[in-house]
Structure 1
Amino acid sequence: MTTGPVVRIGSGEPFTATPAPRLTWKTLSRTENWLQARAEIELVTAEARVTASLDGDESVFVEWPFAPLRPRETVAVRVRVEGVDGSVSPWSEPAEVTAGFLESGEWRARFVGSGSDEPHLLRATFDVHGGVRRAFLYATAFGAYDVRLNGSAVDDAVLKPGWTSYQWRLLYDVNDVTAHLRQGTNTIGIELAGGWYTEDFGFRDAARRFYEGNPAAAAQLVIEYEDGTSTTVVTGEDWQWSPGPVVAASIYQGETYDARRSGDDWRPVVLVEVPDVRPEPRSGPPVRVIERREVAEVLTTPSGKTVLDFGQNLVGWVRLTVSGPRGHTVTLRHAEVLERGELGTRPLRNAAATDRYTLRGEGEETWEPRWTFHGFRYVEVENWPGELSPAAVSAAVVHTDMRRTGGFTTSHPLLQQFHDNVVWGMRGNFLSIPTDCPQRDERLGWTGDLQVFAPTASFLYDCDAFLRSWLEDVMLEQRAAKGVVPMTVPAVIPQVPGQLEPVAAWGDVITVVPTVLRERFGDHDAIATCFEAMAAWVDTVTDRTDGKLLWESGVQFGDWLDPDAPPDQPGQAKTDAGLVATAYFHRSADLTAQAARILGRDEDARRYGDLAARIAEEFRRTYVTPSGRMMSDAPTAYALAIVFGLVDGERKAAMGERLRHLVRAYGYHIATGFVGTPIICDALTATGHVDAASRLLLQTECPSWLYPVRMGATTIWERWDSMLEDGTINPGQMTSFNHYALGAVADWLHRCVAGLAPAEPGYRRIRVAPTLLDTLDDAFAWHDTPYGRASAGWCRSNDLVRFEIEVPPNTRACVRLPSGAEHEVGSGTHTWTESHPRPRRTRTGLGLDSDLATIVDDVEAYRAVLGAISSIDPGRAAAFRRSTRWTPGRRLRDPLSHTPLEIVEAIEKALAALPG
């Protein structure tokens, strides 16, 4: 043992929302195969020093072994561990944490405001006399707020307190503000805007306010003096309000700021009527400005407008430093893409995404909005006074402040950019809640998007506390909807048909996400807390099927955004919606049964296990032929059956063969939507068709994962063709250039290609099973597990492949190499080398009578055919690529029967020129 353990409490923030926070520690050691035998945990309070002993290897989410914390109590916790080898670590550095919650009934602050929806300022004065030992500020708002004490911000969080289902749940923030106070008179000020509370939600003309009432803020400042006395300052009728420099603020529309307005027209506040909700402490990290990016390029559009390119599609806002005459207004318009050289704003729909700043006219002025956010790469600047210097503008990257925990690297440049795009897509859409997109008039917590992306998210960032908080809202919304999990949480678009009806793959978020949090973070409490909601969802779907076990009724999205669906009918997928729904019905019943077994709920385990088995049997009876052919003969149908465990044995193998056939028939282009895309490579891998998965992964023609990369994307698109090959935006009314759902395949890159996966919850045991792709030279993944850094990867050198893994202390890894060799290893770094020559293709006499499957399986031959057509008629080449089904038993000349002779001869010549 070289270094002692590192202790982490709760979400990593300095305050805990619970009197008994769970403890996690990582042990740093160079000793191979190190395992913990016992641990000592020491608690230091103002009154005492207490030690608890723990036998065994538990070190993740360990239950608090001490008396519950009291409100505002600050304690220090440290740990030392003993290994099974007898080694003993030094004590860790103390981790300090403060109880950030209030006593029951202690909240006394009143909600105050101006009585209007306009942004405004609030303030009050109070006196401080005597030595202050500590002072804590608790604050919240129905809306968005910020607090200053004596002119200084109390923290660096933004858009507080974030978005929750306000009618049932409101969070408050707590800060230690001792250093902000001074003897004598002090001033506390609150800036208040509407945020999500006053936004119009819905689509186009149907957008409406959901939450009723004006924005209001509440704050409670508790001052503890050194003599043991205390005073409390609360918002109430003695406060004042004033219009401030923020003229207008909207999440969707943007912010208008007039620096000439001083905010000194003070009037008595109004006690605002708000939902009857007792605020609760924040349990996860807040939203912050995470980084700032410089302008990459200044562009002049064909119409003569000035546009700033930040080189990356991001979420946040811009900060500007400007000098000019008083009353001069600079306008900033945001968009993700350019179309024909101009700002591409059509996909924003009703969102103006426009900020305006009116100058005070007193020298250099620096400003950035704080009550809105935009999804953008490009900013059009209008009416800049004088010459615009790129250094005068920067972009703030804004999202929930989660700790980065995972990554993937490869020397394949397009695949690496794709994975980078996945990370940026998550960053932009994990802003207070997991949203579908960050730019248009939507930005909602669509449950289906998060359901498919949760495994990827849990690898890339420590999002356990973030998602646990959101799941609280999911359960509240579900309870209100009598067991139905809404399509969006918070559920603010009831006018949308089916919003409060059960929808497969969307409502299943309540069974999938708690399972993922236990699997990836070791958060056993996730399924314990959510179990009743998991069961309620399965029971609700059971009731809707009337005991038939097939879920073929009601509103369904099916395999949403199948690339063959028309632009304005994204639900018209190849896969039958009832098949999709029934597969998910089985999955949720099965996950609920598993959760029940883990929790020791034996009767529930039997009931839901039996239900899952009966659904699976009915699924096979209805949708699967005895030979393994699906009645809905589409890739997503086979992927669901394979990955969700609905078939096994010979039938599973037959389905794998058919899936491989379909993937090839579509020319190794994506043929799946939201439901099939995250799992199709898993299904191919599980049935022995890694070659097909590899071709699918690295396809660059549309539709494919790498087509957007080839088109310059820096985030994941909502549609496979959000931008068409001619550089114009998809004509559909629903197009976003920052959606993370179709990037969910990154989980397969982590688990299967690099080969790093949890074998037990929280990576207590690690499964390392790398999958070699003949089209890659290397692949490497790392993840900061609750036990420490784990990594796995491989690299080719001619015919030799070197495998390297890193296993953190207090864990073990089960390794299976591509040769079939198996190893079980403990902590440390381990390497192996195996011979895996790339397959060598033999090519003989390709021509018009060659089998279509033979042509498409030969990348050079396929490109030669398409290149020959394109050299004469690019439009015909694109049509040929889209319409041809590359199936065995058909000759190349068959789909060319009506093709001009000139093109046919060019194809023959191109194929003949290929080397043998």
Structure 2
Amino acid sequence: MTPDPIAGRPRIGLDAEPFVPDPRPALSWRTATPARDWAQAGADIEVVRGGGARETAHVAGGDSVLVPWPFAPLEPREQVQVRVRVRGADGSASGWGEPAEATAGFLGPGGWRARFIGSGSERPHRLRTEFTVRGRVRRALLYATAFGVYDARINGAPADDAELKPGWTSYQWRLTFDVNDVTALLRPGRNAFGIELAGGWYTERFGFRDAARRFYQGDPAAAAQLVIEYEDGTTDTVATGGDWRWGHGPVVESGIYQGETYDARLHENGWARPGFADAAWLPAVLAEVPDVLPEPRSGPPVRVTERLNVRQVLTTPAGRTVLDFGQNLVGRVRITVGGPAGHTVTLRHAEVLEDGELGTRPLRNAAATDRYTLRGDGEETWAPSWTFHGFRYVEVGGWPGDFAASAVTAEVIHTDMPRTGGFTTGHELLQRFHDNVVWGMRGNFLSVPTDCPQRDERLGWTGDIQVFAPTAAFLYDCDGFLRSWLRDVVLEQRAADGVVPMVVPAVIPQVPGLSEPVAAWGDAISVVPGVLHERYADTEALRACFDAMARWVDVVGERAGEGLLWEGGVQFGDWLDPDAPPDLPGRAKTDAGIVATAYFFRSAQLTSRAAALLGRDADARHYAGLAGRIAGAFRAAYITPGGRMMSDAPTAYALAIAFGLAADGQQRAAMGRRLRDLVRAHGYHIATGFVGTPLVCEALVETGHADAASRLLTQTECPSWLYPVTMGATTVWERWDSMLEDGSINPGQMTSFNHYALGGVADWLHRRVAGLAPAAPGYRRIRVAPVLLDALDDAAAWHDTPYGRAYAGWRRDGGTVEFRAEVPPNARAAVRLPSGAEYDVGSGVHGWTERHARPRRTRSALGLDSDLVTVVDDPEAYRAVLAAVRSLDPERAAALRGTTRWTPGRTLRDPLSKAPLTVLDAVEKALAALPSA
């Protein structure tokens, strides 16, 4: 007999944080059951409210993800318990599941009473006051925020474990506050309330090189209110105001880019405890700040999520001590040190070494340096609080006495999102690449989705997250994180008259694109909400962004004009095409107008779909019609009837195929063949930039060229996804050749070793190679359609969908391939195996076996007169040719690899026409030595 299902603890809101920002938080729950094909027929939801009242609501059907709140709205500070029981379509029923608890974290009208206070200067400082707890406390909630970054303490104890609070938002439009239950920190009688405050992003200088300027004006300021509820029903509120006092603390300087300087001799013990003598402190200054009413934080906070030990202690050629943590990460280091008072330890951070020394040139204006001056009274432990760095290596200067690796630990810091997905394969380099994608996301999802975490930038570039959002939504639960950021996008766009800035928050006005639309960057406003709906069933994300989506399309339509071709203005195009010169990263093979018009079509199409989902039928028809007209204009201008693109480059074909811009199946097939030919002509090296890279393998597979996608994916020569892995990369690089083969750093002025954009191909690994994709919003229906790649023996992906754990994978055993899929309860999967066999399955674990022998290659005699295509399509022959040339002339081998176009009708002798006879002879011998099969 099959046991009854078990209803899981529901989630109240978008995450598991204890405070919810909305009066009507959505509810989600999962069901556990071993029963196959289990589907929910209905559910009961019970709420116990703060006063003890108990209510029950009924849900008919299978809805269990982001179910609208079925009760009266929550009141400010109200606590609720919610539990669920479910009924199955098979007649099964669960008992009541475990309850979830949440507290309303928002404030009612007039509920924010705190004044913003500070010292009247940029320097980090401390604020304090004392207050009396006059009775037995039932509960105490602390609401706090800052224009800057802050930390709050009650009686010397930290209020929470979050970092860099309240995070970065578009301060002139929006500021969030944090809520924490600090009941356990209070005591009867006299208590102390302290706040540490620094400038953070608010006082940072944004911009490039000499153009860096402060964007936000004013000094850092904090505001907080402590609401104390007594058991007798009365309430006291302790709020920041002019009666507080401020004093300088031990943080002498701090900056996101420059680092932190801390003088432990200036630390005053007990400053956040009652009875501290603050007579030397000054009255707090009421600060002039933007006229913004703080709102509750709607995504997870930033936290320390992992700690890494030193992997190796190095001594550089210059005699410096450098620590290698073995992983490029984002965060800080914590040191434990003892020495004389006044002695300073210096910590310099970098991602790579160059010539054995710290490679700091890519940091540009960012010093990324922390300094700690010792107190001198024994062993001291310290980590900076108001900065973060992107680094693998730390140079330690001025360490007193003998250095021990155990004295330093790296703390990994990012927004604390739950991990929800992964990919595994026995191909070691590809597995490391995917691990690098994960680490890159961790480092760049820090309060906002940034482009890089190390240099004088760390900005919310819209184009980067536009191409990476599908990958991000698979790997981590980033719905709340991206929803919060999208609120800033909408506000910044509104202020820019419909133009979506290239960076959000928009803090670099000197850069073009803050006043004029830029394709693929501004399109984040249509793409990212669509991803949140597809992956999380988050219809509210579409609703909140729809007007902005429509306005963006309208703005682009104004620029494109009646011809509907977006060919003017500032464009980044296929940014960082590997053929672009180091200092001209926008000079791509694909015409920028093709990129822009393709995205114009894509955004119109996504806006139409969003309108249909939201019941806005007239808008749906309007934007669908517009998308159809754009597609027609695109085809007329850029695609010949025979399927050739006017920009004969891989990104052009990948965009047109992936976005569905071909006129018909015949034209699409021709475009796929041409894309395959171009990929091969480039020696199966990457020939795409930011825009084309996430799409090229998808377009190849969709048009029947998985063999070319396999070669491209597993290429190890530069440029390729795996070349950085062969160079020791532990994150994804900004450039394909951020580090050159000789170990030197790319000479361009813009080089980062931690950018996630080029890792967007991981979404294809999840969806197509492993075969795990959403077929309906939130994975209520799953598509399992794995693609076998000749270069892999296995591939698998798992994802914690809103309904539970899903899995898809395959493994070869000789000519037999075993396929496995796992479907969570209350979901179904449409399965299509490589043979063409199709299945429709419900929850449970499913397996199939098919025969798929790897293709056997027969090899005719090869030599200098062999066709170039024949050589490059034979990996063993290609490697033999390069090895033979490299053994005698490494520079000629590099030129052969980097400049040859492997096209039909030309022989191997052509690119070697000027080679010495010794080289030609070596090539002939190497090819002759190859086996016949």
TM-score interval, normalised by the smaller of the two chains: over 0.9
Q: Select between 256-265 and 216-225 the one with higher mean Cα deviation.
A: 256-265
Counterpart contact for 1:5–1:89, Cα < 8 Å: no
Alignment counterpart, residue 580 of structure 1, candidates 587, 591, 595: 595
Query: What is the CA deviation profile of residues 353-389 of structure 1, one whole-angstrom value per residue up to 9, with x for unaligned ones?
Result: 0000000001000000010000000000000000110
1:212-361 to 2 correspondences below 5 Å = 212-263=217-268, 265-361=280-376
Identity of aligned residues (%): 74
Matching residue of 1:156: 161
Map 1:727-742 to 2 at 5 A: 727-742=743-758
The 2-side partners of 1:710 and 1:513 are apart by: 32
Aligned ranges 1:590-601 → 2 under 5 Å: 590-601=605-616
- 2-side partners of 1:254 and 1:897: how far apart? 55
Partner residue, 1:38: 42
Question: 2 CA distance for matches of 1:763 and 1:336?
Answer: 37
Between the aligned partners of 1:607 and 1:74, the Cα distance in structure 2 is: 45
Matches of 1:694 and 1:794, distance apart in 2: 16
- Residue 271 of structure 2 aligns with which residue? none
For 1:746-804, what per-residue CA distance to the aligned partner results, in whole angstroms no more than 9, with x for missing partners? Answer: 00000000000000000000000000011100000000000000000000111100000
Per the TM alignment, residue 834 of structure 1 is displaced from its structure 2 partner at its CA by 0.4
Residue ranges of structure 1 left out of the alignment (5+ in a row): none
User: Does the Cα contact within 8 Å between 2:881 and 2:926 map onto a contact in 1?
Assistant: yes
Q: CA RMSD in A?
A: 0.6
Correspondence for 1:858: 874
Greater shift after overlay, 736-745 or 640-649?
640-649
Specify the alignment match of 2:703 in structure 1.
Answer: 687
What TM-score, normalized by structure 1, do the two folds share?
1.00
Q: How do residues 71-82 of structure 1 correspond to structure 2 at under 5 angstroms?
A: 71-82=76-87
Match of residue 70 from structure 1: 75
Q: In the alignment, is residue 5 of structure 1 matched against residue 8 of structure 2?
A: yes
For 1:29, the equivalent position in structure 2 comes to: 33
Residue aligned with 2:883, SS: helix
Q: Is the deviation greater in 498-507 or in 662-671?
A: 498-507
Partner-residue secondary structure (3-state), 2:222 = strand
The answer to whether 1:393 aligns with 2:412 is no
- 8 Å CA contact 1:5–1:81 kept in 2: the answer is no
Q: What's the CA shift string for 1:377-404, capped at 9, x where partnerless?
A: 0000000000110000000000000000
State the Cα deviation string for residues 681-732 of structure 1 (Å, max 9, x = none). Answer: 0000000000000000000000000000000000000000000000000000
2:805 is the alignment partner of 1:789: yes
- Following the alignment from structure 2 to structure 1, what is the Cα–Cα distance between the partners of residues 598 and 692? 12
Aligned residues: 916
The whole-number CA distance in structure 2 between the counterparts of 1:437 and 1:839 is 42
Note the C-alpha offset of 1:497: 2.6
| 1:550-598 C-alpha deviation (Å, 9 max, x unpaired) | 0000000000000000000000000000110000000000100111111
Q: Tell me the distance in 2 between the aligned counterparts of 1:297 and 1:415.
A: 25
* Residue identity matched to 2:214: R
Shift of 1:546: 2.2
Q: 1:166 — aligned with what?
A: 171
- Which residue in 2 is equivalent to 1:362? 377
CA contact (8 A) 1:399 1:431 kept: yes
* Structure 2 residue aligned with 1:642: 657
CA distance in 2, matches of 1:547, 1:529: 29
For 1:601 and 1:491, the matched residues in 2 are separated by: 30
Give the structure 1 partner of residue 463 of structure 2.
Answer: 448
The answer to whether 1:753 aligns with 2:769 is: yes
The separation in 2 between residues aligned to 1:883 and 1:903, in whole angstroms, is: 18
Secondary structure of the structure 1 residue equivalent to 2:632: helix
Inter-partner Cα distance in structure 1 for 2:457 and 2:822: 42
What is the CA-CA distance between 1:547 and the residue it aligns to?
2.1
Offset at 1:889?
1.2
Residue aligned with 2:896, SS: helix
Match of 2:628 among 581, 590, 613: 613
SS in structure 1 at match of 2:918: helix
Shift of 1:861: 0.2
CA contact (8 A) 1:405 1:460 kept: yes
Whole-angstrom CA distance in 1 between matches of 2:519 and 2:876:
41
Give, in whole Å, the separation in 1 of the partners of 2:478 and 2:252: 35
Q: CA–CA distance in 1 between the matches of 2:7 and 2:579?
A: 56
Post-superposition offset of 1:2: 4.7
The answer for the alignment partner of 1:703 in structure 2 is: 719
8 Å contact from structure 2 (residues 496, 514) kept in 1? no
Distance of 1:618 and 1:360 partners within structure 2:
70
Point out the more displaced range, 730-739 or 875-884: 875-884
Equivalent in the alignment of 1:183: 188
Q: Flag structure 2 segments of 5+ consecutive residues without an equivalent.
A: 269-277
**Does the 8 Å CA contact 1:238/1:268 hold for their aligned counterparts?**
yes
- Give a deviation string over 1:623-645, Cα, whole Å, max 9, x none: 11111100100000000000001
**Using the alignment, how far apart are the partners of 1:553 and 1:496 within structure 2?**
17
- 1:510 counterpart = 2:525: yes
Alignment check: 8 A CA contact 2:500 2:514 kept: no
Deviations 1:392-433 (A, max 9, x none): 000000000000000000000000000000000000000000
Question: AA paired with 2:22?
Answer: T
Question: Is 1:809 the equivalent of 2:797?
Answer: no
Q: Structure 1 residue 111: deviation in Å?
A: 0.3
- Does the aligned pair in 1 maintain the 2:5–2:92 contact within 8 Å? no
Which 4+ stretches in 1 moved above 2 angstroms? 1-6, 262-265, 497-500
Give, in whole Å, the separation in 2 of the partners of 1:897 and 1:249. 60
Aligned counterpart for 2:447 among listed residues 411, 424, 432: 432
Q: Partner amino acid for 1:744?
A: G
Tell whether 2:115 aligns with 1:87: no
Task: Give the partner amino acid of 2:10.
Answer: V
Contact 2:254 2:387 in 1 (8 A): yes
**Any idea what SS the aligned residue of 1:553 has?**
coil
d(CA) in 2 for partners of 1:524 and 1:399?
A: 26
TM-score normalised by length of structure 2: 0.98
Q: Retained in 1: the 8 A contact 2:594–2:652?
A: yes
Worse-matched range after superposition: 7-16 or 317-326: 7-16
The alpha-carbon deviation at position 896 of structure 1 amounts to: 1.2
Pick from 844, 854, 859 the counterpart of residue 828 of structure 1. 844
Aligned equivalent of 1:659, options 664, 675, 685: 675
Shift of 1:106: 1.0
Contact 2:65 2:537 in 1 (8 A): yes
- For residue 375 of structure 1, the aligned residue among 369, 390, 412 is 390
Deviation of 1:528 (Å): 1.1
Q: Please give the residue correspondences for 1:108-147 in structure 2 after superposition, counting only pairs within 5 Å.
A: 108-147=113-152
Deviation at 1:823, TM superposition (A): 0.3
Question: Is contact 1:487-1:500 (8 Å) kept?
Answer: no
